[in-house]
Amino acid sequence: MAQTAAKVQTVIQPPVFTNPWSEGWRSFRSNKMAMAGLFMILLFIGAAIAAPYITTFDYKEQDLMGRLQAPGAEHWFGTDDLGRDIFTRIMYGARISLWVGFSSVMGSILIGTLLGIAAGYYGRWVDMLISRGFDILLAFPGILLAIAIVAALGPSLQNALLAIAVVNVPVFGRLVRAKVLSLKNEEYVTAARALGMRNGRIIMHHILPNCLGPVIVQGTLSIATAIIEAAALGFLGLGAQPPEPEWGKMLSDSRQFIATAPWTVIFPGLSIMLTVLGFNLMGDGLRDVLDPKMKN
């Protein structure tokens, strides 16, 4: 019996600790559509950064003798009605579209998160005041509200960025408010209050970190919306002003050449479509990673 007992060994496996970042990246990487979206985004970011090193043309350089040239060896995407190289303007235009998308959404996230946390955590008249403000902004169609703001402030890229940020504030505000309303009654928050932890510390250590997942997903999708809104404002002449190579403005300037020089419309339109598609695909992938309900 002693010899038999000696042979029996109880193997205790050590606990396995996984890094949530590496686990999330592994899950994201397994989503082929999300990776395709990330590739599209990185492609346009790389084009925006490397634009001065890839092309030898200046996006403002005009060549009236070579206007409306078809795509070829010298001008890969052809030229526009002023003889400017469309490929160069597409790459420099990526800087404007991505900058407007990221900057406006970051502003919306900052303001909307602060207002949403205040409304959801403190409630009462604070919630009523902030929520009614969100309702007023959401009562207007987003693009019409953006047009009204830019029309009041004057057409420029900075004012278009501000208008897009204002339009998206209630989106993040209501998202964060709903999340805070469900979090502030959790047991760990109640325990923190019982221990005498101040509201500011509870918000920073318990409420805000648990709101980041939905905010990141919504932020990625909102960048795509912001790029479309910036292109729409540029198309109407309310965004970036000439000679800035904004994709929406390029579409507007090329409307009359759709039949005779379709490349002047196709390439800016494809740039908008692929960038927006990339952010949408990546946002769907991030939702699958960050939303516990989507996990098996």
Q: Where are the domains of the chain?
A: 30-44+85-294
* pLDDT given at position 93: 92
* pLDDT given at position 113: 93
**Whole-prediction pTM value?**
0.86
Give φ, ψ of 79 to 5 degrees: -125, 160
* pLDDT given at position 87: 93
> Residue 27 CB: number of other CB atoms within 10 A?
16
Burial degree of 115 (CB within 10 A; 0-12, 13-18, 19+): buried
Kindly report which listed range (3-7, 25-29, 71-75, 103-107) carries the lowest average pLDDT score.
Answer: 3-7
Residue 140 pLDDT > 50: yes
Average pLDDT over residues 143-171: 92
Residue 165 pLDDT > 50: yes
Query: Which residues in 127-163 are b (16+ Cβ under 10 Å) and which e?
Result: beebbeebeebbeeebbebbbebbeeeebebebbbbb
Q: What is the mean pLDDT of the chain?
A: 86
Considering only CA atoms, which of 278, 280, 226, 268 is closest in space to residue 43?
278
Considering only CA atoms, which of 240, 202, 193 is closest in space to residue 96?
240
CATH number of 30-44+85-294: 1.10.3720.10
Distance separating alpha carbons of residues 165 and 142, to the nearest angstrom: 11
At 268, the pLDDT band (50, 70, 90 cuts) reads very high
Q: CA distances (Å), 153 to each of 52, 93, 99, 238, in order?
A: 32, 23, 20, 10
Dump pLDDT digits (tens) for 177-196. Answer: 998 888 888 788 878 788 88
Dump pLDDT digits (tens) for 190-217. Answer: 787 888 888 788 888 888 888 888 898 8
At 134, the pLDDT band (50, 70, 90 cuts) reads very high
* pLDDT given at position 200: 80
More confident residue, 278 or 195: 278
Considering only CA atoms, which of 283, 249, 266 is closest in space to residue 31?
283
Q: Cis omega before residue 268 (within 30°)?
A: no
At 19, the pLDDT band (50, 70, 90 cuts) reads low
Residue 15 pLDDT > 60: no
* pLDDT given at position 1: 45
Residue 47 pLDDT > 60: yes
Structure token digits, residue 159:
């004012």
Average pLDDT over residues 154-174: 93
Residue 4 pLDDT > 80: no
Average pLDDT over residues 101-116: 93
